[in-house]
Amino acid sequence: MEDNVKSKGKSGFIIAVIAIFVFVGLASYNYWKFKTQKEQEAKREEVVPVETISVQRRQLDTVLELTGNVQSLMEVYVHPKVPGEIIERILVERGDYVRKGSLIAILEKTTVEARIKEAEAGLRSARAKLNEVEANLDFIKKDRLRLQRLAELHVVSQQEFDQIDAKYRAILAAKKLAIAQIERIRASLNLLDILLRDHDVYSPISGYVSARYVDAGTMSDSKKPIVRISMEKTVKIVATVTEEDYPLIRKGMEAEVRVDAFPQRVFKGTVSVINPTLDPATRTGQIEIHVENRDLTLRSGMFARMHLALGEREALVVHKDALNRLPGTGNYYVYVVKGGKAIMKNIKIGASQENHVEIKEGLKEGEQVVVKGQNRLRDGTLVRVMGQGTREGR
C-alpha cells in the first residue's frame, strides 16, 4: 500500500515537469515566430519611389491682389434750398446726363413773387418820398441861406434864422431817413431775388442722374434730396490693404482692374488716394484706385479685382507640385526627404508666380521636397529618390 502511494507521487511529479517543459517550449516557439514575422514584415515594407526638388531662393514679382466695389468718383445729393414749397416740375430722369449749372427742378414761386412785387411798390413809394423831401430841402436851403445873410446884417433876428435852420436840419434828417428806407428795401429785394433763384434747383456738377427721390407735386424739404448725380467718367475703387503691405503702396502706381461683367477686358487704373492712417482694430488702411471710364463701361456697384505690381524681391520658393492641402482646411503641407524617409511639414505660403509659390514658414533653403509620388506617402514612409531637379521649365 505504501509502495503504491509513493509510485503515484513520483508519476505526478514527472508529469508536472513534462508540462512545464512543454509550456516553456511553446512560449519560446511563439516568441521566435513573432520576431521572425516582424523581421520579415520589416523587410517587406514598401519603399516608395519619389521625385524631389530643392527649396531655393529666387526673385519674385510682388503682386498685390485686392478687391473692391466700383464707385462713382463723386456723388452729389441735390437738395432744395427752400423748404415748404410745392415742387412744380422736375426736368430730369434717371440716366439723364446733366451739365454743371443745368436746371433740374422748379419750385412754386407765387409767394416769393408776391413779396417781390410788394417790396418793389414800397421802393417806388420810398423814392417818391425822397423826391418830395429833396424838393422841400432845396426850398428851405435857399430860404435859410437868405435869412443867414440878413441875420449877419442884423436885418432879421437871430430867432427867425434859428427857426429856419431847425426846419432845414429836420428836412435833412428826413432825407437821410428816406435814403436809409430805400437801402433797406433794396437789400430786401436782393434777398428776395436770391430766394427767387433758389426756387430753381440747379446741378452742382456734371454727371448722370443715378437716382430720383421725389415727384412733381411733392412739398420741398431741404433735408430730403430731389436727385442724386454721379460723376461716372472717372470711377474709383476703394480697397483695403494690410499693415504689412501698406508701406509698399505709392501714389501713381498703376493697377490692372478686372470685373466679372467683362472678364476678358483689363482696365488701367492709378493709385490716387492713400489714407494716411490705419484702422487700429483691423491693422488695415484704405486706398483709392481711380479708373478712366469715358465709355461708361464700368458701373457703380460692380465687383472689381485688382493687381498691383510692387516690384521684385527675393523669396524662398518651392514648385507648386510639392504642395498638399489638409482636407477641410486652408492649411498646406509638404513632404521633406530626410534619412530615407518622408517627413511631413506644415508650411505657410505667400505669393505665387508662374509655377512657384513663396514659402513664409516651415522650410529652409536646400531642403528636398517631394513633387512626385506624395499621394502614396505618410509621415515616416520609406522613400527612394528617383530624380531631383528644379523644374524651372514647368
pLDDT per residue over 323-359, tens digit each? 998 887 878 999 999 988 999 999 998 877 778 888 9
Do residues 233 and 138 touch, judged by C-beta distance below 8 A? Answer: no
Percent of the chain with pLDDT over 90: 47
Mean pLDDT of 164-185: 86
For residues 359-366, average pLDDT:
90
List the alpha helices (DSSP H) in 153-207: 158-198
Q: How many domains does the chain have?
A: 4
Name the nearest CA neighbour of 172 among 123, 138, 147: 138
Same domain, yes or no: 174 and 187: yes
Same domain? 293 vs 321: no
In this structure, is residue 10 part of a structural domain? Answer: no
Q: Which residues contact 219 (CB under 8 A, 6 or more apart)?
A: 84, 85, 86, 87
Burial of 354 (0-12, 13-18, 19+ CB in 10 A): exposed
How much is the average pLDDT of 2-8?
49
Q: Are residues 155 and 120 in the same domain?
A: yes
CATH code (residue 309): 2.40.30.170
Query: Using one digit for the tens of pLDDT, what is the confidence trace for 75-123?
Result: 999 999 999 999 999 999 998 999 999 999 999 999 999 999 999 999 9
Segment 151-177 shows an average pLDDT of: 78
Domain that holds residue 183: 109-198
Q: pLDDT confidence of 21, banded at 50, 70, 90?
A: low
**387 pLDDT higher than 90:** no
- Assigned domain for 30 exists: no
Say yes or no: 208 and 96 in one domain: yes
Which of 87, 367, 364 is CA-nearest to residue 221? 87
Q: Does residue 5 carry a pLDDT above 50?
A: no
| Residue that terminates a domain, selected from 185, 210, 225 | 225
* Residue 39 scores a pLDDT above 60: no
Query: Would you say residue 166 lies in a domain?
Result: yes
d(CA 218, CA 197): 19
Is the model's pLDDT at 157 over the cut of 80?
no
Measured CA to CA, the distance from residue 156 to residue 68 in angstroms comes to 97
Answer yes or no: do 304 and 340 share one domain.
no
Indicate whether 329 and 289 sit together in one domain: no
Judge if 116 and 175 occupy the same domain. Answer: yes
| Domain at 361, CATH number | 2.40.420.20
Domain boundary among 296, 313, 330: 313
The reply to whether 162 falls in a domain is yes
3-state secondary structure of 61: strand
Residue 172 phi, psi dihedral angles, 5° rounding = -65, -40
Among 25-29, 127-131, 268-272, the range scoring the smallest mean pLDDT is 25-29
Q: 153 in a domain, yes or no?
A: yes
pLDDT of residue 314: 85
Of 313, 341, 360, the residue that ends a domain is 313
